[in-house]
Amino acid sequence: MQRVNKEYAELDTAWIQGEIASGRDSLVEAGWIDDREYQVNTHKIKYQILNTHQKSRTKNFRDVEAHATPEELKQLDLSGYLLKERMFQSEHLDQLREAVDKLFEAEVDLEKRETRERSWGPILRYLEDKDPVFLELIRYQPILSIAKAMMGPILRLRGLSSRISFPGEEIQSAPYHQHLRVNQIPRPPWFSDPHSLDALIYLDDLNEDAGLVYLVPGSHAWQDREPPYRQYDPLDDEVSFAIPAGSVVLMHGNLWHRTGPTVGTRRRMLILSYTPSWLCRSPHGTKPEDGLTDAALKNADQELRELLGVEGKT
């Protein structure tokens, strides 16, 4: 039975047929990347949103210029992660570091901080409400466009946080975990698989001193298991990377991951996370009163309204 017309059939495969073009010019122009160090290949995906009823005759297309090749997206889908080295450089990287340092200063009192034998280290949340650099970051196309390529163009921000860890008496590392812990057994027939694209943005060199990140490729698709409790030690098949500051690990939110302890040098990173608009924001953290997003929403376009969760529901 032929169920789709030709136009829809073309849309179905658009994401692997897209045209390859260079998308780095605007980033180079803004002084955000050096084109000798960061190669960006983009391809266009034409989405049609089916929310206006046939009667209206509006096509309701939304184009996404995905900052990745179709092969990279395929790899992200299958292995659950994609490494983008030196995505942030020069001034842009400096701005992010400065903004994290300022917030750390404002929110963390090291003298009063209660320490334990081990912890993840301080985590700051709702960054987009606290500094314009972060409010701008939630629309940074090299990341947001890949999220739209994987989950469709109607997305919301799940969270923007920063983890800052440092050497000391307290061991600072993260055991194996995943971010969307809603799977259950048995799997109900109408269960909606949880999806998010989480960008781990490393603001300092990632090495053994800082504490590497470890991932288990393919584990985002294991819907019948969860990582072992307080697993700080290696698991079979895990991979890790030593990567320069400004590099980004894009991963599915349910990929099993952990970090090694921060032993030699302070380590700053951001987690920028997106989900389909009809899922909810991360439950962690408290939105500050009169945050930057309140003002931004007053004359926000549709993308920002969706990202901030006031539009995009059915």
Distances (CA, A) of 89 to 161, 242, 244: 20, 17, 10
* Tokens 């991963």, residue located: 251
Would strands 118-119 and 171-172 be described as parallel, antiparallel, or unpaired?
A: parallel
Least distance CB 269 / ligand AKG (angstroms): 5
**Which residues in the 200-239 window bind ligand AKG by CB under 6 A?**
200, 213
Decide whether 25 or 107 has the Cβ nearer to ligand AKG.
107
Least distance CB 189 / ligand AKG (angstroms): 31
> Taking CB positions, which residue lies at the least distance from ligand AKG?
213
**Which residues in the 181-200 window bind ligand AKG by CB under 6 A?**
200
Decide whether 40 or 272 has the Cβ nearer to ligand AKG.
272
Strand partners, 275: 156
Decide whether 24 or 125 has the Cβ nearer to ligand AKG.
125
Separation between Cα atoms, residue 172 and residue 175, nearest integer Å: 10
**Which residues in the 270-289 window bind ligand AKG by CB under 6 A?**
271
**Which residues in the 125-164 window bind ligand AKG by CB under 6 A?**
163
Cβ–Cβ under 8 Å, residues 306 and 155 = yes
Q: Which of 45, 93, 174, 197 binds ligand AKG (CB under 6 A)?
A: 174
Strands (E), 186-263: 197-202, 213-215, 239-241, 248-252, 257-259
Sheet holding 41-48, edge to edge: 20-22, 41-48, 61-66
Closest CA to 225 of 262, 253, 183: 183
Cβ burial of 22 (10 Å; 0-12, 13-18, 19+) is exposed
Least distance CB 293 / ligand AKG (angstroms): 21
Dihedral of CA atoms 95, 97, 103, 105 in degrees, nearest 10, equals: -120
Least distance CB 33 / ligand AKG (angstroms): 22
Decide whether 40 or 180 has the Cβ nearer to ligand AKG.
180
Dihedral of CA atoms 74, 77, 81, 85 in degrees, nearest 10, equals: 30
Decide whether 259 or 275 has the Cβ nearer to ligand AKG.
259
Strand partners, 202: 269
Least distance CB 173 / ligand AKG (angstroms): 9
Decide whether 42 or 196 has the Cβ nearer to ligand AKG.
196
Decide whether 22 or 115 has the Cβ nearer to ligand AKG.
115
Decide whether 138 or 160 has the Cβ nearer to ligand AKG.
160
Least distance CB 174 / ligand AKG (angstroms): 5
Least distance CB 282 / ligand AKG (angstroms): 10
Least distance CB 109 / ligand AKG (angstroms): 21
Dihedral of CA atoms 232, 160, 204, 220 in degrees, nearest 10, equals: 40
Rg (CA), the chain: 20
**Which residues in the 244-273 window bind ligand AKG by CB under 6 A?**
257, 259, 269, 271
Binding-residue total with ligand AKG (CB under 6 A): 8
Positions in the binding site for ligand AKG (CB under 6 A): 163, 174, 200, 213, 257, 259, 269, 271
